[in-house]
Amino acid sequence: MIKALFAAGPDRWDTYASPLKAAFEGAGLEADLRQDFAPEEVDYIIYAPHSDLQDFRPYTRCKAVLNLWAGVEKITGNATLTQPLCRMVDPGLTQSMVEWVTGHVLRYHLEIDRSVALQDRWLPYVPPLAEERPVTILGLGELGQACATALTRLGFPVSGWSRTAKDLPGLSCHHGTNGLRDALASAQIVVLLLPDTPQTANILDSNSLGWLPQGARIINPGRGPLIDDAALLTALDIGPVDHATLDVFRVEPLPEDHPYWAHPRVTVTPHIAAETRPLTASRVIAENIRRGEAGEAFLYVVDRDRGY
Ligand code: NDP
């Protein structure tokens, strides 16, 4: 019997216990799923960073730690974690990120705020077609590529930027430091879908924000530290940035006195772009346990040196 420890906080147990059990059954696994085991008995840990479990050393037979979240910045630095760490790549989460990003891109593209503000005046305004509105996505991983595909289907010319070189159909791909400048130079809308690592911290700072064309819009569902907040506020006040939609912040919840709340050209959303969906995510976890038991390679293993 496989012993799977659910270390993701008691509040999530009610949501995850039955989809996980069903997914284990569906994968043909005989597994005992609990919130409490003697550490030396545990085969797999299903994990969320808010859990009390911070010392992985007693989990001597644990074959993998299966993170419930896509982002792993809160766990990659944990020196006690020597077991393989798998991050979450969940079709439900990906779909919700695609919907959120597409919605906010279309809000900017169609100037929806303008129509809402002009409810008492007849001022016809014809937005350009999507093909005239270049969008750049920073980060071409699971989520960046899925959003790029959806936006390309709508007709937007999409550029992307990643660490390593890529050749993706229908996308203009850039990489490395020089590539960032090219990726930003033509972007009317920029979407950040990078992980939080030492290399991506403040990737949008006063220097790189200056590469954007006048009137650019920024959408950040990635992580707060990707943006130098003071530099963004300056770029909003004196250009080139016209508006920013921010879902993630250095400190969450965003402190009440943070200037983003009151800024007329910032939209704050409370880290809701894409939540892990228990039904689909449970199947991903079960598949990884099945692989572990069959001696196959785990899916979505985090490279701890790279940080994602
Ligand atoms: P992936 O690991 O699949 O993709 C990460 C992408 O970022 C890759 O294309 C990678 O490049 C690129 N990248 C990493 N480091 C650098 C760098 N130094 N320079 C340039 N590019 C870099 O991650 P996901 O797409 O699954 O997720 C992205 C992030 O989205 C998560 O880390 C998380 O922070 C955030 N997120 C936010 C949610 C929300 O609700 N707001 C929900 C879920 C995720 P390469 O391809 O070359 O490796």
- What pLDDT is attached to residue 9? 83
From the CB of 196, is ligand 1 less than 6 Å away?
yes
pTM of the complete model: 0.97
Could you give the maximum distance between any two Cα atoms of the chain, in Å?
Answer: 71
From the CB of 142, is ligand 1 less than 6 Å away?
yes
Active site residues: 223, 271
pLDDT (tens digit per residue) in 140-196: 999 999 999 999 999 999 999 999 999 999 999 999 989 999 999 999 999 999 999
Residue 11 pLDDT > 90: no
Average pLDDT, stretch 249-268?
Answer: 98
Give dist(CA 172, CA 4) in Å, integer: 43
The half-sphere exposure of 17 on its side-chain side, counting CA atoms within 13 A, is 10
Give dist(CA 79, CA 91) in Å, integer: 30
pLDDT (tens digit per residue) in 206-236: 999 999 999 999 999 999 999 999 999 999 9
Nearest CA to ligand 1 atom 33: 71
What are residue 190's DSSP bridge partners? Answer: 136, 218
Nearest CA to ligand 1 atom 23: 141
Q: With a cut of 0.90, is the ipTM above it?
A: yes
Residue 25 pLDDT > 90: yes
- What pLDDT is attached to residue 10? 84
Q: 281 φ, ψ to 5°?
A: -65, -35
Kindly tell me the burial class for residue 229, based on how many C-beta atoms sit within 10 Å of its own C-beta (0-12, 13-18, 19 or more).
Answer: middle
**For residue 250, what is the DSSP state?**
S
Residue to mutate (ligand 1; options 90, 145, 163; most atoms within 8 A of CB)? 163
- Measured in Å, how far apart are the chain's first and last C-alpha atoms? 31
User: Measured at the alpha carbon of residue 108, what is the angle toward residues 107 and 113, in degrees to the nearest 5?
Assistant: 65
From the CB of 197, is ligand 1 less than 6 Å away?
yes
Residue 50 pLDDT > 90: no
Q: Separation of 196 CA from ligand 1 center, angstroms?
A: 8
Average pLDDT, stretch 256-266?
Answer: 98
Q: Separation of 174 CA from ligand 1 center, angstroms?
A: 15
CATH numbers and ranges of domains, the chain: 2-90+276-294 (3.40.50.720), 91-268 (3.40.50.720)
